A and B are shown apart, each in its own frame.
Chain A
């Protein structure tokens, strides 16, 4: 039962982006299209699962004094793997994610889960936690990316939704840097209202 709880808590209750406000850099940078968001989500989830698995497996062997460098090396290894695989099989996606692939290494969510969860929980629970957090991170990115792509380009997953007339004069700012900050601020505000409603009812 607790396994299921570990899996689902990352999706809403402890959503890494909307509730804990972690991993902001890739979150804001790659959400210019849903395709990029899915690619980044998949890459980060893979690294998260692998690093949580290894950290949890070795949690009794790694001396606590040098644990952070150990985690960083584990994470960096998997990031390098993702980088090379993506460069070989999905070169277009690799190019559009660019510098944010190597930067998965310093994504606070991954180090945070290694230090905060995998460090003191059994392997199965850690993997469940990683899958949940990965899904939560990906979902959050897809939500913001949908808004930005729809408003800024009139498309969703490169399919035209709002018609050619809109595409001639889209709300370009949504896809530029300011759009990410402003839309995220409204989404966070919306979650705060949601939380207050829920608290009021209890």
Chain B
């Protein structure tokens, strides 16, 4: 059995039916989530941490790692809850409540586990974890995966790619804002206004990716 067959057997879940698994679609999802529909700059998800944690490069990297980590776990949890629990019981209208509870308890759980088993990682991600519960990108990716009716494999790929897209935007922004500290900005535009202006210009740059992987 070659590795592609193994991979597709692993990634295609029973309910995805005819969808199966195909590499082209996987690439399309990855490119779309990182660049074309970048979560921050094109979909406006996760703007609060994007502005709040982008003042220094180090904290941007930490936040990005924490988001990718929780996003993947949250997708796994919400996908399982939706397809194995809510759909069979006919309770799909409860999905919003279920997802937010899963995310909140997951963040708590991850925090506790990290504190116990990996203090180094905990102190690196520590302060960012509680902030993540109210990061709309996490709930956003869970809802989007359900809306797009992705199988578990595609959902996880989409979540990781979305997290990478978020991290990319955050790191670019942090680099730019460190430069901005030295720039001569008009007093009225200092702080948030100029940060939004920079985000707007970055967003124009990301518009250039439209048409890629379409």
Contacts and interface: CB of A to CB of B under 8 A. Distances in A.
Given A69-B104, A108-B48, A176-B207, A99 B140 contact: yes
Contacts of B133: 106
B136 A25 contact: yes
B44 A105 contact: no
B203 A177 contact: yes
Given A73-B101, A192-B193, A185 B93 contact: no
B140 A21 contact: no
A123 interface: no
Interface of A: 21-22, 24-26, 28-29, 68-69, 72-73, 76-77, 79-80, 83-84, 98-99, 102-103, 105-108, 111, 173, 176-182, 184-186, 188-190, 192-193, 196
Nearest to B52: A21
A106 B188 contact: no
Contacts of B96: 76, 79-80, 83, 102, 105
A106 B204 CA distance: 27
A21 B104 CA distance: 24
B192 interface: yes
B113 interface: no
B69 interface: no
B135 A177 contact: no
A22 B204 CA distance: 23
A103 B95 CA distance: 12
A24 B207 contact: no
28 contacts: A21-B192, A22-B48, A26-B44, A29-B45, A69-B104, A76-B97, A76-B101, A79-B96, A84-B93, A98-B147, A102-B139, A102-B143, A103-B45, A105-B96, A105-B139, A106-B100, A106-B139, A108-B48, A177-B42, A177-B44, A181-B199, A182-B197, A182-B200, A188-B192, A188-B196, A189-B193, A192-B189, A192-B193
Contact of A192 (B188, B200, B204): B188
Given A69-B104, A108-B48, A188 B93 contact: no
Given A72-B101, A73-B101, A178-B200, A28 B192 contact: no
Interface of B: 41-48, 51, 93-97, 99-101, 104, 133-136, 139-140, 143-144, 147, 186-190, 192-197, 199-201, 203-204, 206-207
Given A69-B104, A180-B44, A186 B193 contact: yes
A37 to B, nearest CB: 14
Given A22-B48, A181-B199, A182-B201, 19 more contacts: A25-B44, A69-B104, A72-B101, A73-B101, A76-B96, A102-B99, A102-B143, A103-B45, A103-B136, A106-B133, A177-B41, A177-B203, A182-B196, A182-B200, A185-B192, A189-B193, A192-B189, A193-B188, A196-B188
A163 B143 CA distance: 39
A181 B100 contact: no
